[in-house]
Structure 1
Amino acid sequence: MITIKTIRKAGILTALLAIASSCVQDLDRTPAFDVTSATVYADPSNYKSVLAKLYAVLAVSGQQGPAGKPDISGIDEGTSNYIRLLWCLQELPTDEAVIGWNDQTIQDFHNLRWTSSDGFITGMYNRIFYLVAASNEFIRETSDEKLASRNITGQAAADARTYRAEARFLRALAYSHAIDLFGSVPFVTEADAPGSFLPRQISRTELFSYVESELKAIENELAASRAAEYGRADRAAAQTLLAKLYLNAQVYTGTARYTDAVTYASRVIQANAYALEPNYLNLFLADNNTSREIIFPVTFDGLRTQTYGGMTFLIHAPVGGSMPVAQFGINGGWGGLRTTKALVNQFPDVTGATDKRALFYTQGQSLEINDITQFTDGYAITKFRNVTSTGRAGSDPSGNFPDTDFPLFRLAEVYLIYAEAVLRGGTGGDAATALTYVNALRARAGAPAITASALTTDFLLGERSRELYWEAKRRTDLIRYGRFTNATYLWPWKGGVKEGRAVEDFRTLYPIPASDLVANPNLKQNPGY
């Protein structure tokens, strides 16, 4: 598992990135090791360790866990973790989550009133571009020309080319988050000398085309579906990311690409490499690395990837009140995250009797949220846990850091992408197959099958919530359906009022951080900010 076994050797990348992220001028990084690109990349045995650091950017926040040697400074390591910030920016502004804390500007997300100086938004932006910069450096140093100049041939060269394709995938993933969250952003590739210029701002449509072309270029350079080491990107990961991009293409570019979404979802499914996990809850437990459903995880290990972000946040923060802490395999809850009645009402009951995906804790919790800062206002979610499918606690004896992996892509979402793209007019698929996929998810959940007449896009928005809640999808889904900002769909405390209200349409994009606008005069702010 590349992100677990080799992460501790990957600190060499810190020195290589001291200037590498030219797109974000306000990141203060100090080289921690007396090494250069020449010394590191002269030995191909180092390549996998450096690649491990690229993957680790998603999971941890620095060179040691859980804090002390941050990749970026000026922000708390725990709160600025990539997955934690992605989750917060995707879930907190929606009907699926509220948080009880008053840390900095965290309440501005559910209230949909953030500004361009928001530290959490800046943190997400900086994490994205740190991963872009790190990937650029690796791609630059593993080019065919560089390999030849170092006399790296044979299997070592072949391995380096596979690693390079994975780095291109990770860069495409980071840029896909930039497309979704920020729209038009600074643009740099391995062809740009680090630290020598101020990047130009690329349009959302241009960046979409670039990411699309990168993923297509590496599709067959990556390992076959499910043939890679666990935790590493394979062909299905690239195909899933393409399917997700195409499903949202009308939002991103103004041009629908539903046929392409069907095509790439079908490639993932028809490879028959991945299969639905029989037990839904097992997807979110400490041994979820054994599941054949997870296409691309962000991996965590209680002993080797210690962070206060990632799954540490997603397992500790939803536990509080009278919840039985031992059932979650942790040493205590943080009493922060809950959900609104809008998500609860997606299910026929809260016990899971008619849909096993209804993982709510209601004892001592009120359905109504009168005060977001009170943990007992709003039902708690019990989806993520640091116990295995056999009930064993995670590997960290302190109970602080979990072994549970975050399922960034899984087969269930690909089924739902296929179904929605078909219903929206995508060709190359059919409604009967779409119905089969949706009913396969419902059968696993113990929910009744639906008929063809019930399979509508509105139904699928609800089904995506039931299947994928708290997996960092919801904001994107609500925007695609035109229900994020306006009064078409209201949920408790949307816009900062208990009954919910419409907010400005420009909130469908986050602002470019004010600090980067000052640092780079080539940048223009998103409208409304």
Structure 2
Amino acid sequence: MKKILISTLSILGLLLLNSCTDLTENVLDEASASGLTDKQAADGNLAPVYALLPTLFTHTVYFAIQEISTDEAILPYRGGTDWGDNGIYVAMHQHTHGSTDPNLRSNWLVLTQGISRAVTALSTLPANKDSNVKTYIAEARGMRAYYNMLLLDLFGVVFVKDDPQGFSEVRRGEAAYEYVKSELLAVEPDLLTTVGAGRLSKAGAWGLLARLYLNAAVYRDRYAAQFTFKPDDMDKVTEYCDKIIGTGQYQLSKDYFAIFNSDNNTNKELIFTVDQRAELNGHNRLAYFSLSGDQFPLPAFPAANGTDGPAITPEFYRTWVNAYAPQDPAGIDPRFFKQNWTVPADSCVAEANFNMNRGILRGQQYGLLRVNGAFLRCGTNYRVGKLFNVTRNKSTLPVNFTEQVNYTVAGSDYSTGFRVLKYEFSKKSASGRNLGDADISIVRLADVYLMRAEAKLRKGDAAAALADVNTVRAARTSPAPALSTMTLDLLLRERGFELYWEMVRRTDLIRFGKYEDSWTEKTNTDKQKRIFPIPQTAIDGASNLPGYLTQNPGY
């Protein structure tokens, strides 16, 4: 079965790369393979629909455009040698990106291929006699809606397609929004309450519907000077959030960072996730993306280090500082930082006790000391101490993360910018960089409370909104102090505190009217940057069909 599935997915990928715009592909029906039970065939039809989620949520695909385009993340040309990438990360952050950006193309390809796979599954599953087929059809159709929802949010288009051999109908604006909404509403009754991690459940669909209604004003009128949030839409947000909360099936995690641990597969806060357990060969790179090249989280792997990637901007850091001044946010908000161990210089630590601090990392960093490719030992233990940029051939430069980071030579050096370690490194890895088995949240309960708070606030009920926000703040061990007032600016700040690095920031900033604001190295105020350009390869691929796929304004 595995050989059949792998070969099928490979062929589908090649077909899509050659014809990604109209989503036309040959249908390869696993159900026709001899020797398969109906259940095996049905599983084989549905599995490819979900299989692209780990690819979508890698660090240089969805993360790159949802976070680096915002005030939460900045990725400079590190030391003049790393992450230059022809300026694509600078352009993304400054909103000067264009239609040839390879990361935009990667997002487009993954999403259109996901739609294509869903269409293939929907064309073959009805003939299957397995008892799960009705649910599988709902999941495939729901995932087609989800991929289209992301296309709508990112590129302003959706593809309406039912016949695998036919062309897609392209919709934009309110017609696109209504299509995604109608599809999610249609499948919700046939989804199950519990299906396990990584699959679309009834509550997952409710969460997506709440998010869709919350952003309806944006999707209807993308370039509005001020978005109009209809009361009926906000009521729907509240309705679907109430449904999720009312099930009692989900709980806010007392340990905030446990939501992002390697063993989070059964965490009750998670509602809809990217399933990346090690036994499924998960490949979550979010753990090491931001760390220094001289931070090695796993004693077993002396080559598994960080990449000196993105940092948070000083503006985003200052939202924390300003919220809790004169106190340090690390001592008052459990979402900011988790101290797993305190290491004085030249100490020895057993491998089992070596566990990196989590959250926003500031100042001088301590960790495993590596010389000539091997970690220093103290008998059976490991020596830890003050880190220097040895891997960058700057052995006298401390790994001392600073608040300031920018595109100057000094501001883009290897230690500039406070870093983020939110997702835990996998200890099941075979190399330190594969099997990043922390499931990635698509919808979780804290976001549900915050969406409901926003819907209530936009209808004028600040007291109810405040109660929901304080519910989230109070849920964690050593809870953050309760707030006494609630405004839209405070609510956006709270979403940043709770959901940073979770790939929702761009969508949030647009909805709150802040995407045209200025922050470090970004001053562009062009409203047309609220959606990305359709990749030029897709435009070129559709050039034989005049008017079929037109470029978004401003590109």
Per the TM superposition, whether the score is higher than 0.5 is: yes
Distance in 1 (alpha carbons) for counterparts of 2:236 and 2:490: 22
Contact 2:174 2:219 in 1 (8 A): yes
- Overall identity of the aligned pairs, in %: 31
1:64-103 aligned within 5 A? 84-100=60-76, 101-103=83-85
Return the alpha-carbon distance in structure 1 between the equivalents of residues 8 and 463 of structure 2. 50
Q: Which amino acid aligns with 2:146?
A: L
Quote how far apart the aligned CAs of 1:450 are.
Answer: 1.2
Give, as a single letter, the amino acid of the residue that structure 2 aligns with 1:361: L
1:465 has 2:438 as partner: no
* Corresponding residue for residue 379 of structure 2: none
> 1:338–1:375: 8 Å Cα contact kept in structure 2?
no
In the alignment, which of 462, 472, 475 is matched to residue 506 of structure 2?
475
- Verify the 8 A CA contact 1:180 1:252 in the aligned structure 2: yes
Give unmatched runs, 5+ long, in structure 2: 77-82, 222-227, 337-358, 364-399
Secondary structure of the structure 2 residue equivalent to 1:278: coil
Matching residue of 1:237: 204
Q: 2:549 aligns with which of 514, 523, 526?
A: 523
- Structure 2 counterpart SS, 1:295: strand
Cα 1:319–1:27 shift into 2, 3 Å: farther
Change (3 A) 1:328 1:127: farther
Q: Distance in 1 between matches of 2:530 and 2:2?
A: 36
Task: Give the Cα–Cα distance (whole angstroms) in 1 for the partners of residues 3 and 473 of structure 2.
Answer: 41
Query: Does 1:248 find its partner at 2:208?
Result: no
Match of 1:400 among 414, 423, 433: 433
C-alpha separation between the residues in 2 aligned to 1:174 and 1:30? 20
**Is the counterpart of residue 39 in structure 1 residue 32 in structure 2?**
yes
- TM-score w.r.t. structure 1 length? 0.81
TM-score, with normalisation over the residues of structure 2?
Answer: 0.77
Contact (CA 8 Å) 2:4, 2:30: kept in 1 or not? no
SS at 1:346 equivalent: helix
- Report the CA distance between 1:380 and its aligned residue: 0.8
Matches within 5 A, 1:327-476: 331-347=304-320, 348=324, 352-358=330-336, 359-363=359-363, 364-371=400-407, 373-386=412-425, 394-401=427-434, 402-425=436-459, 431-445=462-476, 446-451=479-484, 454-476=485-507
The letter for the 1-side match of 2:488 is T
Distance 2:529 2:150 in 1: 16
Distance in 2 between residues matched to 1:350 and 1:47, nearest whole Å: 54
Secondary structure of the residue aligned to 1:527 is coil
- Give the 3 Å change call, closer, same or farther, for CA 286–462 of structure 1 in structure 2: same
Q: Which letter maps to 1:202?
A: R
SS of the residue corresponding to residue 297 of structure 1 reads strand
CA contact (8 A) 2:31 2:41 kept: no
Mark the CA change 1:473 to 1:327 in structure 2 (over 3 Å): closer, same or farther: farther
1:487-511 Cα shifts (integer Å, max 9, x gaps):
xx321111xxxxxx23311100101
Q: Which of 239, 251, 256 lines up with 1:280 in the alignment?
A: 256
Q: Distance in 2 between matches of 1:493 and 1:439?
A: 34
Maintained 8 Å contact 1:128/1:178: yes
Q: Is the 8 A contact 1:11 1:53 kept in 2?
A: no
Q: Retained in 1: the 8 A contact 2:282–2:437?
A: no
* 8 Å CA contact 1:318, 1:380 repeated in 2: yes
Q: Which of 1 and 2 has greater Rg?
A: 2
Matched, 1:295 2:271: yes
Q: How many residues align?
A: 462
Richer in strand (by share): 2
Deviates more, 1:230-239 or 1:411-420: 230-239
SS in 2 for 1:219: helix
C-alpha displacement at 1:249, in angstroms?
0.4
Q: Partners of 2:305 and 2:549 in 1: how far apart?
A: 44
Amino acid of the structure 2 residue aligned with 1:103: D
Deviations, residues 238-257 of structure 1 (Å, cap 9, x unaligned): 00000001001000014632
Q: Is the 8 A contact 2:191 2:202 kept in 1?
A: yes
In the alignment, is residue 107 of structure 1 matched against residue 90 of structure 2? yes
Secondary structure of the 1:238 match is helix
User: Is the contact made by 1:337 and 1:375 (CA closer than 8 Å) also made in structure 2?
Assistant: no
Checking the alignment, whether the CA contact within 8 Å between 2:57 and 2:63 is kept in structure 1 is no
The answer on whether the counterparts of 1:21 and 1:129 sit within 8 Å (CA) in structure 2 is: no
SS of the equivalent of 2:262 reads: coil
Determine if contact 1:95/1:491 at 8 Å carries over to the other structure: yes
C-alpha distance in 2, partners of 1:470/1:248?
20
Q: Which runs of 5+ in 1 are unaligned?
A: 1-5, 61-79, 387-392, 495-500
Q: Indicate the residue corresponding to 1:325 in structure 2.
A: 297
* Superposition CA RMSD, Å: 2.8
- Structure 2 residue aligned with 1:159: 132
